[in-house]
Structure 1
Amino acid sequence: MKKSERIHQMLRFINQKQHFTLQDLMHEFQISKRTALRDIASLEEIGAPIYAEYGRNGGYRLLNPMQLPPISFNSQEIYALYFAMQALQSFTNLPFQVSFHSIHEKFINELSESQRQDIERMQHRISFRHTEQVKDSAHLETLLTAAVKNSVLKIDYQQSTRTIQPIAIYSMKGYWYCQAYDINKEAYRVFRCDRITSAETTNIDPLVDLKEITIQNAHSLWQPSEQGVPFKCLISQAGIEQFQQEHYPSMKLIYETENTYVVGSYEPTEIDFIINYLARFGKSLKIIEPITLKEELRQYYRDLIDTI
């Protein structure tokens, strides 16, 4: 990173923190102590109101917030933003109902002529292949807002009314999903967003325990119901790669001796779903248990052959 760009980012960093140390700057910008000291001197030269605090809890403090210059992006950052925007093209529904076309138009209009030409040339040199959204999801904004604000919703889902506390939403294989805690069932569940026909905020107090749960660790909350059926399948390396591309909270990989297995559970009402999912692995997966699941998969293949 060039010094001028680092100083620009440092201005924003210290304006946000107000109080900082040399170690903060060294860690944030991956610079040496000597460079951090020189940068502080440069900040003072351009008028940043910084003063040093001595003592055990000393450091540096900003006397008052500064009016910062407009954010500017270098060419590499512009290309990265353009790449990120391409993902929006796959979805007919997005949280807050923002369309790709409106964002793209505003983005392009803010570029210089040379940058616009670079983007236009790039469009003919790179292709983005996406899974198109299969079904509309009308309540993404409500679900995401509830997850951010830690609030509880009442939803209509597959002809039943549920009370949930959303944790996060994500998209996979053309569908939007909502990770949430089901208040009535006292269990973590994943809801397909296109099957939610209504969603409204309630006055129910949220569960404090869920405040630190994120989309990265939400799967750890999954627990099968009393009727859940455990399963175990031997999986090959090719199957592992396929599993990593698509799997669900009710399943995971485990390693025993020299073999890898998919283990998890499914509800009795989900037998068609689990059979269709496992059948996609073909020869890269072998059901170990339960025997009834193996028989169901055999019957699936027989019925498939009969239709040919």
Structure 2
Amino acid sequence: MKKSERLNQMLRFINRQQHFTLQDLMQEFQISKRTALRDVASLEELGAPIYAEYGRYGGYRLLHQMPLPPISFSSQEIYALYFAMQALRSFSNLPFQVSFHSIHAKFISELSESQRQEIERMQNRISFRHTEQIKDSAHLEMLLMAAVKNSVLKIEYQKAHQKSTRHIQPLSIYSMKGYWYCQSYDIDKKAYRVFRCDRIMSAELTDIPPLENLNEMNMQNAHSLWKPSEQALQLKCTVTQTGIEHFQQEHYPSMKLVHKTESTFIIGWYEPNEVDFIIKYLAGFGKSIRIIEPTILKEKLRQYYRDLLDHI
């Protein structure tokens, strides 16, 4: 990183921190103590109101917040931001209903002519193969904000030909294979569930107090919250290297890879009402998987293949 760029970022860092030490600067910017001292001197020369505090808990303190220079990006950062935006093109729905086209137009208009030409040349040499969004999800913004603000929602959920009213506390939303999903705690069933967002027909805030034990740490690792019921069945399969790669591309909170000396296993569980879903999921592995348990799952997978052959 160039010194001018580092000083720019350092100004923003100390403006946030107000109080900092040389060790803070060394750790944040991966620089030596000597460089940190020189940078502090340079910031003072630029007019930053910094004064030193001595003693055991000493360091540096900013007398008052200062106006910061406009944020600027290097050409490499601009290209990285542009191509990161391409992921938005697959989705007709996004939280806050922000369209790719409006973001794209504003972004391009701020570039220099040479940067626009460079991006146009890159577009012809790189492509992103996205899974297109299959169905619209009308309530993404409310689901996301409920997760952020720790709120409980009342939703109407349509699955197959059945509609049900549920009270959920959303934890997070994510997109996979063309669908949006919401990881939530189902207040009525007292269990963690994943809801497909396009099946949520309506959503509204409630006055139901949220569960306090769903703390920030759990929300950051929502997969660890899923627990099997007493009726859940244990699943164990061996997988080849091809199967490992398939698993890494698509797996669920109730599953994990376990590496032993000579074999790799998928270990997990599924609920009795999920058997059809599990069969279709395992069938996607083809010859790269072999079911060890439960035995009944082997027979159901064989029957699934027989039905496919009869359909041909």
TM-score (norm 1): 0.97
Whole-Å Cα distance in 2 between the matches of residues 300 and 216 of structure 1?
Answer: 37
Residue 15 (1) aligns with residue 15 (2) = yes
Instruction: Provide structure 2 residue ranges, at least 5 long, that are not aligned to the other structure.
Output: none
Partner Cα distance (2:142, 2:57) in 1: 44
Q: Which residue does the alignment assign to 1:174?
A: 178
After superposing the two structures, state which structure 1 stretch, 248-257 or 14-23, moved more.
248-257
Contact 1:168 1:214 in 2 (8 A): no
**What is the distance in 2 between the residues matched to 1:195 and 1:264?**
26
Residue 210 of structure 1 corresponds to 214
Alignment of 1:151-170 (within 5 A): 151-158=151-158, 159-170=163-174
Contact 1:167–1:213 at 8 Å: present in 2 too?
A: no
Cα deviations by residue, 1:65-113 (Å, 9 ceiling, x for unpaired): 1111111111010011011100000101100000110000000001111
| Corresponding position of 2:71 | 71
Q: Output aligned runs, 1:51-66, within 5 Å.
A: 51-66=51-66
Distance 1:144 1:128 in 2: 26
**Aligned CA distance change for structure 1 residues 177 and 163 (closer, same or farther; 3 Å):** same
Question: Does the CA contact (< 8 Å) of 1:242 and 1:281 recur in 2?
Answer: yes
Q: CA RMSD in A?
A: 1.2
Query: Unpaired segments of 5 or more residues in structure 1?
Result: none
Matched residue, 1:272: 276
Amino acid at match of 1:52: A
Counterpart contact for 2:234–2:269, Cα < 8 Å: yes
CA deviation digits over 1:229-261, x for unaligned, max 9?
A: 221111111101100100111211123442111
C-alpha deviation, 1:210, in angstroms: 1.9
Counting only pairs closer than 5 Å after superposition, residues 31-180 of structure 1 correspond to structure 2 as 31-158=31-158, 159-180=163-184
- Aligned-pair distance for 1:214? 5.7
Bigger CA drift: 84-93 or 148-157? Answer: 148-157
Name the structure 2 match of 1:281. 285
Alpha-carbon shift at residue 216 of structure 1 (Å): 5.2
What is the CA-CA distance between 1:3 and the residue it aligns to?
Answer: 0.2
Q: Structure 2 counterpart of 1:5, which letter?
A: E
Q: Does 1:225 align with 2:229?
A: yes
Q: Is the 8 A contact 1:150 1:211 kept in 2?
A: no
2:198 is matched by which residue type in structure 1? D
CA contact (8 A) 2:232 2:271 kept: yes
Moved more, 111-120 or 215-224: 215-224
Residue 265 (structure 1) shift:
1.8
Task: Name the aligned partner's letter for residue 190 of structure 2.
Answer: E
- Counterparts of 1:209 and 1:76, CA distance in 2: 43
Encode CA deviations 1:3-28: one digit per residue, 9 max, x unaligned.
00000011111101111111111011
Distance 1:265 1:9 in 2: 48
Give TM-score, length-normalised by structure 2.
0.96
- Count of residue pairs brought into register by the alignment: 308
Q: Is the 8 A contact 2:218 2:225 kept in 1?
A: no
Quick one: which amino acid aligns to residue 3 of structure 1?
A: K
Name which of structure 1's ranges 216-225 and 50-59 shifts more when overlaid on structure 2: 216-225
| Off by >4 Å, runs of 4+ in structure 1 | none
Shift of 1:264: 1.6
Shift of 1:225: 2.2
Cα separation, 2, equivalents of 1:294 and 1:169? 33
- The residue that corresponds to 1:303 in the other structure is 307
Q: Confirm or deny that 1:253 pairs with 2:253.
A: no
